[in-house]
Structure 1
Amino acid sequence: MSEQHRADGDRDASYLVFYNTAHMHDDVPGLPAMVAVRVQRDHATGTFEMEYARHPLVAMGEAWLVQRGADPAAFARQGPIAPADRETERVEALLRGSGTRRFEIHDDYSFDTAPYDTWVIATDTLAADPARPVRVFHDRRQIDADTYTLREGHFASVEDARAWTDDLDSPLPPAVLSPSARAAAALLGTSSAAAGWARVISTPPPAAPPPGNGRPPSR
């Protein structure tokens, strides 16, 4: 799904995110389908070391690799499936640069049937709105277009977020302006720049899915 390679003298490293096709055969349904792998090679000693971890989203796997020396701006996406829009790229950039401590993950589920939805419930430790610190990240594939969308919604509690996952077609509560963003928008008034700012940092609801896609209940 994603890779980069870096070299430093006699040492080089590869950072990769794979889609694990065997995840659908796990004893527990819904486990993460992505595997992030770091391979470090020492040519002077002829040795290597490797570590890996499972993640529900590609960008979360990339965030884990960034904490192990990867450059967040140097990942090359592989395969035919591409982000559907700029909002997807924005949310992925947020996750990729979040490190491993900003988001405390409570639950996630990866479907192994079309349209291959994935959702993640996490508390944002840096939430701009303390009344809604919980986020849902929802990934959905557009199979006919070979694209995917990634959206975020803000909730007051983990229980509210879990209730939303019972109907993945329902709109996600949009993100809110941070205090600094509200102040900047107020200074700009009703100008086109202010409107553009609001569009960038707000989150639209997910695109409507193809009809007839049944889903098992969330865990």
Structure 2
Amino acid sequence: MSDDLDSGFDFGLDELTPADDASAEALETLWPGDLRVLSQHHTTPHGSHSFVLAHDRSATWGIPGAPQVVAIAVARDLSLSTFTLETSYHATASFAQNWLAERGCPPEHITPAAENRLKPNDDLTLQVEQQIRESGTRYEVLDSYTSDFDPCETWTLTRDSDAATAPVRVFHEQWDHDTGTYTMREGAFADVGAARSWLDDRGDPLPEPPEYGDHNGAVLRARMARIALARSADAAAVQKAIRDAPCTPPPGPVQHPVQGRLL
């Protein structure tokens, strides 16, 4: 994790040249000083590959609704002194993690640290995010929108290749800065028109996917139970660490370098 976010991210490309025009163009479009690194993973021992999950602060001042989470994959050929660089913008971290996983990054190594994001509000949020991260090419992203002003939310409009019915899915994320939490939900629609009508109106609750109510619902509930158990175990470990820790003065207040959205 970067210790000095305001200093920008070092891509580690000194003395290397782009392997193709697409990599050169991708590098030109990124300004490291705009990137707030949320998580990064580098292969060992030679660091031939790097995977970065970041918040692009410049997106806040760009096209309204543009995605602000950028996934970056770097591959270095040290024998030829070249590199390839790919980037992809997403409304939520989980879709960016999915993109990185498809390019070889172990998902568990690209999870944003707790201090870099709001906390999930409930176990269903964690389940939906895990489903996205592990979905491979299941979801075709059709559109997305990010609002870091009231209402603070994102949505990602997708087509689910695994869905037998209601194949158009909306992943709706809401942030509550007062409580420091966020909620993610999945909605299912028969077609894109119905999904866009809901996004424009919001008069009814987000319709749950039909599989929540069939035999797959049992799988969903089992996964949520495992998540709840893991969270309980983590909480118990934290409490034990607090009990066993020596008495020391509390740290001073943490200064967050970015206002607005915390991913």
Deviation for aligned residue 1:41: 4.3
Cα distance in structure 1, aligned partners of 2:165 and 2:206: 16
Paired residues of 1:63 and 1:96 also in contact (CA < 8 A)? yes
Shift in alpha-carbon separation, 1:10–1:131, aligned structure 2, 3 A = closer
Is 1:136 paired with 2:170? yes
Which 5+ residue runs of structure 2 have no aligned equivalent? 1-36, 226-263
Cα distance in structure 1, aligned partners of 2:167 and 2:112: 30
Match of 1:5, SS?
Answer: strand
Give 2:106's match in structure 1, choosing from 66, 71, 78: 71
Amino acid at match of 1:97: E
Deviation for aligned residue 1:197: 5.0
Paired residues of 2:127 and 2:223 also in contact (CA < 8 A)? no
Shift in alpha-carbon separation, 1:139–1:18, aligned structure 2, 3 A = same
Paired residues of 1:91 and 1:152 also in contact (CA < 8 A)? yes
Q: With structure 1 as the length reference, what TM-score do the two structures score?
A: 0.73
More helix by share: 2
Cα distance in structure 2, aligned partners of 1:97 and 1:90: 11
Paired residues of 1:155 and 1:161 also in contact (CA < 8 A)? yes
Task: Give the match for residue 118 of structure 1.
Answer: 154
Which 5+ residue runs of structure 1 have no aligned equivalent? 186-193, 201-219
Cα distance in structure 2, aligned partners of 1:9 and 1:42: 14
Task: Give the match for residue 152 of structure 1.
Answer: 186
Cα distance in structure 1, aligned partners of 2:79 and 2:223: 53
Give 2:53's match in structure 1, choosing from 13, 17, 25: 17
Amino acid at match of 1:64: W
Cα distance in structure 2, aligned partners of 1:181 and 1:29: 41
Matches within 5 A, 1:202-213: none
Give 1:37's match in structure 2, choosing from 72, 75, 82: 72
Paired residues of 1:83 and 1:148 also in contact (CA < 8 A)? yes
Of stretches 85-94 and 3-12 in structure 1, the one that deviates more from structure 2 is 3-12
Cα distance in structure 2, aligned partners of 1:167 and 1:51: 36
Cα distance in structure 2, aligned partners of 1:120 and 1:80: 19
Q: Which structure has the larger Rg?
A: 2
Query: How far does the alpha carbon of each residue in 1:110-141 deviate from its partner, in whole angstroms, 9 at most, with x for none?
Result: 113134210111110011xx331111100110
Amino acid at match of 1:119: W
Report % sequence identity. Answer: 34
Is 1:92 paired with 2:126? no
More strand by share: 1
Aligned residues: 187
